Structure 1
Amino acid sequence: MLKGHEILGTDKPILRERESNHFFLDEITQLNENPEHYEVAGYVQMTINKQIFYKPVYVKKG
């Protein structure tokens, strides 16, 4: 997970919830898929212990 300053200046959207075609990196590896076939689609905002973090979500290329 990333902090706000780590994604400043990105052209990717900040999402409140991920969509059905979005995957987290750990899900891609659990599916035995090659992460190189995926690209970052945006960042999902998560609150943990009253701190805000951003977790990248991926979509399949093409």
Structure 2
Amino acid sequence: MAVITDISIPADQFALGRLLDEYPDIAVELERLVPLREDIISLFWVTGAPPKRSK
């Protein structure tokens, strides 16, 4: 059985809220959770931010 949900969290209630307040055009979308041996990592997409340029 699969469960799909759409969750919205106010920026001031989220750990990254200050970043989202500073860059209001950024959207973060959780794609999936990836199970590892002892941990689980999140795979997510960030859109609306300019790409970081390497030096």
TM-score norm. by structure 2 comes to 0.32
Could you say which structure has the greater relative contact order, defined with CA pairs below 8 angstroms and 6 or more residues apart?
A: 1
Using the size of structure 1 for normalisation, the TM-score is 0.29
